[in-house]
Structure 1
Amino acid sequence: MCNSNDVYKIRTALETETGTYIYYSLSVLQDSGYDIARLPFSIRIMLENALRNLDDFSVTEEHISTLMNWGTVGTNKEIPFKPGRVLMQDFTGVPAVVDIASLRAEMARRGKDPDLINPLVPVDLVVDHSVQVDYFGTSYAYEKNIAEEYIRNSERYEFLKWAQRSFNNFNVVPPGMGICHQVNLEYLSKGVILRNGLLFPDTLVGTDSHTPMVNGIGVMGWGVGGIEAEAALLGQPVYFILPEVIGLELVGKLPLGSTGTDLVLTITELLRRQNVIGKFVEVFGEGLDTLSVPDRASIGNMSPEFGCTVTYFPIDDKTLDYMRKSNRPESQVNLVEQYCKANLLWRTGNEKITYTGVLTMDLSTVEPTVAGPKRPQDKVLLRNFKDRFIEILDQTYGRQYIQPNEPIVRWKGEGGSQPAASPSNGHPGTILEVSNRSGQKEVWLSTRREKFMLSDGAVVIAAITSCTNTSNPYVMLGAGLVARKARERGLDVKPWVKTSLAPGSRVVTDYLKRAGLLNDLEALNFHVIGYGCTSCIGNSGPLPAHIAQAIDEENLVVASVLSGNRNFEARIHPQVQMNFLMSPMLVVAYAIAGRIDIDFHKDPIDFDQNQLPVYLKDIWPEDQEIYNLMDTVLVRDDFAKNYGKIYEGNAIWQNLPVHDSKLFVWDNSSSYIKEAPFFNNLSEHPGDIKDIINARVLLHLGDSITTDHISPAGSFSESSAAGIYLSGLGVKKEDFNSYGSRRGNDEVMVRGTFANVRIKNRLAKKDGGYSTFFPDGREMSVYDTAMHYKAGNIPLVVLAGKEYGSGSSRDWAAKGTFLLGVKVVIAESYERIHRSNLVGMGILPLQYGPGETAQTLNLSGHETYSFRGLESEWYPGKEILVTAVNESGITVSFQATARLDSLIEIAYYQHGGILQYVLRQFLAS
């Protein structure tokens, strides 16, 4: 973890109640004449990390000088970072563990000791991304969902259990215990780490882009791709360009009626507009004193939605208060306070820090807010929501909105006025009548109990889900109170709404029960369906058959409302085209309304049994009511009880069979776990980098292509390339599971690459994962197109616009691209993690020059491309000559910047990827 190379003579002893420990003192450095106090807290933590890990090889004095001389102007100098630990979730963790197990297998084949391959820093993997909402609205939903989860994923879970037993420094939190970020916030994070007598700040990288949630408790951490995380756990530093740091100054106080969720969505829109991509954001100001750690964590959670690397909240009294309430030992809380105060890492509010720039936000201006329908940064004030829906319906879907004649015409129940029933009336899922009012679709359906109309704007999914908000007791208790007050007025959720409650930890269930609010939520069909990332990751499960049929047959534009952090196209559910982020309180309200074309400021949310209107304000709790409840129901014992058995798992987990060996026993018949293909027959030394000649374009894409577009996580059809593959193995459609659950199988994942049903490739007439094979012009799936090119040994290119690879830190978005045969991506700009992952897989990310795009250069994607200059000397930011020859023989030449941003990234590219680089190091040693 450290070495004795104390060049600056700053190793110092700290006497505490539990003993005397050594630390690297920034205060001593300050007293020696270095102006550390002007540095942002986040840069101070990076500096301490470099000082402690100085070895004159991976961390040099030049790196330390770069950090100490951090300035407000951007630089292209790289710095290393060695995290104290690594956090994983199962979707991204399983392929990482597959890679590590494959490295062991390759070591053994070469006659080396496979046990040399072990995590060198502690790793916690939380199984939280595999639970799906198959069952809902019943008391048995949780038990049946977790049973289905084990049926679908037993192979993966046996593999993870083997890894927990076989690897050193590797712990697994079994299914059904919580979401990795909330578990990280409530339990795993220590604030300060004590290891081998040495004290240092708690730092980590995580294989989920929302890892910065833990910034809310003063822990420095961010999301990386699984590829980078694998390198980090094997002892490699994470290298990145010294960031600019934007100071976010908060003033004022949230007004009555506004929630932490509204604040988060407001900040998301503000910072995305201010272009903080790749930068650090650090929060300060008097307004910060009014925000709890859960409020801060909710903001940090959305860092990837802003585009920044971290949103850091320095440790202060609020941090210690949260640590005590969440059952951290008092000795640990005291250690955090002593260390941070001794080492210039404690926020007093009186700091004189120099930032790259400062943005000021007045909390008192925050209003109730939602975001969508496709991006988290697309903020819509609640008071404008109905008008915005009408605008989207017209501009995006070409449908004229018609105001209903009566507010309750959409649902009258049995005995009300509705179209005449067919002879099959009374059976589940009957479509009675379809009408089309000036382009807006309406479908009347019947169930055993009621008849209702489904139309554009209907809410078909209402999910209280994701760590963003389920970690915040204010909005969770608020949601329970909304449900209680709605019950008191005799209101219920509409019959076409699929409801779910997926808390981020079991602590949430305990305090909801103690408050008596779980009963109220369950009365509105918000039963606990699991503890994990469900709708937010695309695990919403199937819609009821008659709802799904009506949507498909009549092409209805329906909506989901969720308390999550992601709402990209086709992510929540492939049949739901509009997805809106909002507080859990509003999720309950919209489930009652059953539609989004409602103005909560003017229109009633529903009518009670006496046909009297009930407005949102009638069921909205007062702030003090929520605070009083929080003081009563939040107790330390809940944290002690639930986290005291966090690694045990249920009886199914405990009874999973596991091989007791250092090498994993690969099952060739498995459709879930396969040995990774990246290391077989790897040469002992890397070859020379060669120019790439006569490449073809596989995809020509637009702006804001997310990793969900590149490597979807949700379900897939029998007609997809992945579905055809699994069907060929004899796997039934109902057993396909999801792309995310099959990330341990490269054959499935390469076929799923660029297979999102909403992706639009300009080289294909059809949307959803198609391309054209040149020169004969045949249109086929992206996978089949790539395989045709691969048979001819033709390298491939992807053309893209701005923000390529935004969204989740999804390693298969790079791995799948590599396995398709893509050698180069040319984009206008990249999301940080995905660019790094491309390099980590040996793919060259090129960036157009200022003002240049595929359009300005008249690139259609039909050309053949050559990339020259790769064989000469490399340095960060090297310019590459690109020539494109179109079908008429006309040549376009331009310079593009190679986004290999550091010397180590150049080394990774030369080796064909990070893991190839690491394996060669192990073999050489």
Structure 2
Amino acid sequence: MASVNSFGSRGTLDVNGKPYEIFRLNALAGPGLNVASLPYSLKILLENLLRTENGTDITGDDIRALAAWDANAEPNREIAFTPARVVLQDFTGVPAVVDLAAMREAMQALGGDAARINPLAPVELVIDHSVIVDTFGSKSSFEQNVDIEYGRNLERYQFLRWGQSAFHDFKVVPPGTGIVHQVNLEHLSRVVFTQENDGVVSAYPDTCVGTDSHTPMVNGLGVVAWGVGGIEAEAAMLGQPISMLIPRVVGFKLTGSLPEGSTATDLVLTITERLRQHGVVGKFVEFYGPGVAAVPLANRATIGNMSPEYGSTIAIFPIDDVTLRYLELTGRSPEQVALVQAYAKEQGLWHDPQVEPRYSERLELDLSTVVPSIAGPKRPQDRISLSESKKAFRGALATFVDEPKQKPQGYDKEVAESFPASDTPSRSESDSRSPQPTDHVDEAPVSGLRARDPISVTFPDGSHGQIDHGSVVIAAITSCTNTSNPTVMLAAALLAKNAVNRGLSRRPWVKTSLAPGSRVVTDYYDRAGLTQYLDALGFNLVGYGCTTCIGNSGPLIPEVSAAVNEHDLSVVSVLSGNRNFEGRIHAEVKMNYLMSPPLVVAYALAGTMDIDLFNDPIGTDGDGENVYLKDIWPSAADVAAVVESSIVSDMYKSGYADVFAGDERWRQLPTPKGDIFDWDATSTYVRKPPYFHDMPRNPEPVSDIAGARVLAKLGDSVTTDHISPAGSIARNSPAAKYLTDHGVAPADFNSYGSRRGNHEVMIRGTFANVRLRNQLAVGTEGGYTRDFTQDGGPVVTIFEASSAYLAAATPLVILAGKEYGSGSSRDWAAKGTVLLGVRAVIAESYERIHRSNLLGMGVLPLQYVPGEHAQSLGLTGEEVFDIVGITILNEGRIPSTVKVRAGDVEFDALVRIDTPSEASYYRHGGIMQYVLRNLLAR
């Protein structure tokens, strides 16, 4: 609570006879202070400042600056935001707890009280990223995958059990429960938070940060929440406010309603495309207008979930009657629902469709114009109208296969040129509103691109198939984005029912899976009598968690894998997820498309992307008659009727009644004891990290960088998926060698994500993505570079080069293009970078989270001045770099630019240290060292 109350804002709100202490926004009045017209999201930040005002980190001037926000000004005012809680998933949560355990030891070594290292804000961790689709297509798939998951992750789970007992206010949702963002939406989010101190109950907006970039999913509930790196989350856990600039806010007005045949997925892909085109990186997006009431809460959550795909910090919907109905449906208490309504109306947080707040920028969308869509083959913002999908696929395919020896009959070069992979088509005037046939023109099979016949494959059950470029080999209903949405999930099940009743089946080369975000999904499938139809098509339950969307796809069908590798096929995954970056879904799958759950089922039936679902038959029935998608696509009325009859509040109440207890297997896990963790020197999962090794009580002065070499020279849109280790561990990789040397058999390598608590594995996988193209090592793909400690600079792995440079005490830099670090908020993209010896990154532009994470690990983010880049400056990456001007930071000032000398080239680079707090993190060598020293000083 605030120790200072400059504006006399503390007051009382009575809700059904119960008093709550609140900090009233209407207490802020006077010249230039127009709180009523502030965007919804900024009102929540303003309340946060009023409640936490202390005269030092948060002052009256900060509060006035936000209350007098100039919508048109560029962000230049820093404020300190204190989230109500922190949400973790296990991939990022394990290293966060590892770091806290190491901080306790470091605090003790420096003579401080180890118990000071303890969460000061509620922390909730959901184990959802560890299940892998090892088995599929049978009723026992779920149990088998869970058994394998526990066998692989025993050390990690025991470590998290220790953390749950060793740290205060730290709760763990056990495996097999659901996906963190869906659990957060359906259960953890309060919308209005309450806390009791000395008999006084305070009420204030629920806010949170999470170690997953899709944390904004709960923006759909009106909760201000966004993704941060694990290191920034750790600081929030330790009570450190998050430093941020007051952002620009984009108002997105919605009108109309979705037409028949269009889904929430189509809507979010349309919004993603629009906002990427507009440019919203680092901004708040806020939806308003008369169309908001027509957007169900699940659709709002879907839109919020995709916020990192279009780059905004949040994408929020205000509280209204739709919010209250969802809270009631999902089992929140009547008292909580009444508090949310009363608080929102008292504080001016209730949505009024007739009021337009002041915004920095405005966009508008008529929902009736949204058409069926997919996105791919490698970026979520590359939306394709479903009516154009076959044509767009063929155009993109040309960039994924070798040039044809001869141009096949029917293959139109103009098709390839009109839809390059980096510029897929937008909605045109001719788009149809739902899957209906139009005039059909026969086209040649894509096998002609390689001037050979499709590959015949025989499967163990005796079935046969022919696979080719474009064959769909993974079809996954997965990810928090859509599995939280009953409408699209039930649409998928109804489509499956209609398909089975027409005698259709999945193609035998397609690996199918169903991984819901919570157990409620399978409850309503069972209640509606639809589970059997999904099972019949191979969409059996494989687990409750993130699977294919994060690369936990498991192996392809063996016969398919063999054919893909032998013939270098460019095959396809289709998934109802939010990420489809290169190399993410599966190392053997080059093309990946995002789509709604019913379309995932449809493509599993078709077995290929080389199909026009509006015109081509999806299969044949028992009588040999063609079946088209329109024949089995459920109507909106059919879906709505099943939603109404099959989903009840008791499902959520019973499903979350004892959510932290876990099953018998979880409860029986042996758990280490004690406040200080006893590190196991033989563990290959959890190891003491090196960040605090020999750390002095006071930071050393920062220095300029001299004699640096380039570790990697990269192009545009290099994502954290390219940088951070993820997915399976290749058997010929440096990480595999480390594990083998430590007695781990290849079958037990597990994934990079599961080994995030072991820095030795992770640094060996940093920049090792199979699709990474390092321009310094021309002709290679994957984690390779040149080692200039050796004559001629031979090509070696990035880890081998890093080891040589570290031994020679040579600092390293990364050169990059636009949107460097877009993608998930992976702390290991920054941690691995610093542990490889990188001191600075020079890029054309950054994604918000990764730039922040680099500073949080003591890596300097620099940016070319507008109009300049590596190519224009003639940089090859073979130069020796000196970076001069950093030492101004020792004087308490932030340099706007530094001088970079690269061989004979000299240029200025912008210093992307955006706030004084970030400057402090950099001077201390990282945010964890900064927090530790501050706690030690107290």
Please state which band the TM-score falls in when normalised by the shorter chain. Answer: over 0.9
1:158-557 to 2 correspondences below 5 Å: 158-196=158-196, 197-398=201-402, 438-439=450-451, 442-447=454-459, 448-557=461-570
1:27–1:342 Cα contact (<8 Å) kept? no
1:441–1:456 Cα contact (<8 Å) kept? no
DSSP 3-state at the match of 1:856: helix
1:490-639 to 2 correspondences below 5 Å: 490-639=503-652
Q: Structure 2 CA distance, aligned partners of 1:33 and 1:721?
A: 60
Question: 1:792 aligned to 2:791?
Answer: no
Q: Structure 1 CA distance, aligned partners of 2:659 and 2:75?
A: 43
**Equivalent position of 2:419 in the other structure:** none
How much has 1:77 moved relative to structure 2?
Answer: 1.9
How much has 1:344 moved relative to structure 2?
Answer: 1.1
1:741 alignment partner, one of 754, 757, 767: 754
**Equivalent position of 1:772 in the other structure:** 786
Q: Deviations over 1:53-94 (max 9, x none)?
A: 111222122321221121122122211110000000000110
2:896 alignment partner, one of 867, 878, 882: 878
**Equivalent position of 1:144 in the other structure:** 144
How much has 1:438 moved relative to structure 2?
Answer: 4.6
The one-letter amino acid of 1:388's match is: A
**Equivalent position of 1:58 in the other structure:** 57
Q: Structure 2 CA distance, aligned partners of 1:394 and 1:662?
A: 58
**Equivalent position of 2:39 in the other structure:** 40
Q: Structure 2 CA distance, aligned partners of 1:62 and 1:729?
A: 57
1:441–1:554 Cα contact (<8 Å) kept? no
Q: Structure 2 CA distance, aligned partners of 1:151 and 1:646?
A: 22
DSSP 3-state at the match of 2:886: coil
**Equivalent position of 1:682 in the other structure:** 695
How much has 1:614 moved relative to structure 2?
Answer: 0.2
1:441–1:556 Cα contact (<8 Å) kept? no
Q: Deviations over 1:433-461 (max 9, x none)?
A: x9977536621011232111111110000
Q: Deviations over 1:130-188 (max 9, x none)?
A: 00000100000000000000000000000000000110010000000000000000000
1:685-724 to 2 correspondences below 5 Å: 685-724=698-737
Q: Deviations over 1:313-333 (max 9, x none)?
A: 010110001000111000000
**Equivalent position of 1:657 in the other structure:** 670
Q: Structure 1 CA distance, aligned partners of 2:394 and 2:476?
A: 23
DSSP 3-state at the match of 2:900: strand
How much has 1:696 moved relative to structure 2?
Answer: 0.5
Q: Bigger shift: 465-474 or 14-23?
A: 14-23
Question: 1:75 aligned to 2:93?
Answer: no
How much has 1:115 moved relative to structure 2?
Answer: 1.4
Instruction: Give the structure-1-normalised TM-score.
Output: 0.95
**Equivalent position of 2:738 in the other structure:** 725
DSSP 3-state at the match of 2:863: strand
DSSP 3-state at the match of 1:184: helix
| Shift in alpha-carbon separation, 1:606–1:12, aligned structure 2, 3 A | same
Q: Structure 1 CA distance, aligned partners of 2:12 and 2:32?
A: 20
How much has 1:922 moved relative to structure 2?
Answer: 1.7
1:851 alignment partner, one of 867, 871, 882: 867
**Equivalent position of 2:14 in the other structure:** 15
**Equivalent position of 2:93 in the other structure:** 93
The one-letter amino acid of 1:182's match is: Q
Instruction: Give the structure-2-normalised TM-score.
Output: 0.94
Q: Deviations over 1:652-678 (max 9, x none)?
A: 211111112111110000000001110
Q: Structure 1 CA distance, aligned partners of 2:462 and 2:33?
A: 75
**Equivalent position of 1:412 in the other structure:** none
Q: Structure 1 CA distance, aligned partners of 2:729 and 2:744?
A: 13
**Equivalent position of 1:155 in the other structure:** 155
Q: Structure 1 CA distance, aligned partners of 2:112 and 2:41?
A: 41
| Shift in alpha-carbon separation, 1:546–1:678, aligned structure 2, 3 A | same
Q: Structure 1 CA distance, aligned partners of 2:518 and 2:278?
A: 34
DSSP 3-state at the match of 1:200: strand
How much has 1:871 moved relative to structure 2?
Answer: 1.4
Q: Structure 2 CA distance, aligned partners of 1:126 and 1:403?
A: 53
DSSP 3-state at the match of 1:65: helix
1:833-848 to 2 correspondences below 5 Å: 833-848=849-864
2:885–2:895 Cα contact (<8 Å) kept? no
How much has 1:198 moved relative to structure 2?
Answer: 1.1
1:565–1:581 Cα contact (<8 Å) kept? yes
Q: Deviations over 1:772-804 (max 9, x none)?
A: 011521211001101101111010000000000
DSSP 3-state at the match of 1:91: helix
Q: Deviations over 1:545-587 (max 9, x none)?
A: 1111110010001000000000000101000001000000000
DSSP 3-state at the match of 1:696: strand
2:827 alignment partner, one of 784, 787, 811: 811
**Equivalent position of 2:437 in the other structure:** none
**Equivalent position of 2:921 in the other structure:** 908
Identity %: 53
1:877–1:899 Cα contact (<8 Å) kept? no
How much has 1:109 moved relative to structure 2?
Answer: 2.5
The one-letter amino acid of 2:216's match is: P
| Shift in alpha-carbon separation, 1:96–1:562, aligned structure 2, 3 A | same
Unmatched segments (≥5 aa) in structure 2:
412-445
| Shift in alpha-carbon separation, 1:76–1:347, aligned structure 2, 3 A | same
DSSP 3-state at the match of 1:21: strand
The one-letter amino acid of 1:795's match is: P
DSSP 3-state at the match of 1:315: coil
1:749-764 to 2 correspondences below 5 Å: 749-764=762-777
DSSP 3-state at the match of 2:692: coil
How much has 1:285 moved relative to structure 2?
Answer: 1.2
| Shift in alpha-carbon separation, 1:40–1:17, aligned structure 2, 3 A | same
The one-letter amino acid of 1:879's match is: T
* Aligned residue pair count: 891
**Equivalent position of 2:422 in the other structure:** none
| Shift in alpha-carbon separation, 1:666–1:395, aligned structure 2, 3 A | closer
How much has 1:764 moved relative to structure 2?
Answer: 1.1
Unmatched segments (≥5 aa) in structure 1:
406-433, 886-890
How much has 1:397 moved relative to structure 2?
Answer: 2.3
**Equivalent position of 1:823 in the other structure:** 839
DSSP 3-state at the match of 1:45: helix
Q: Structure 2 CA distance, aligned partners of 1:917 and 1:397?
A: 49
Q: Structure 1 CA distance, aligned partners of 2:6 and 2:616?
A: 69
2:163–2:170 Cα contact (<8 Å) kept? yes
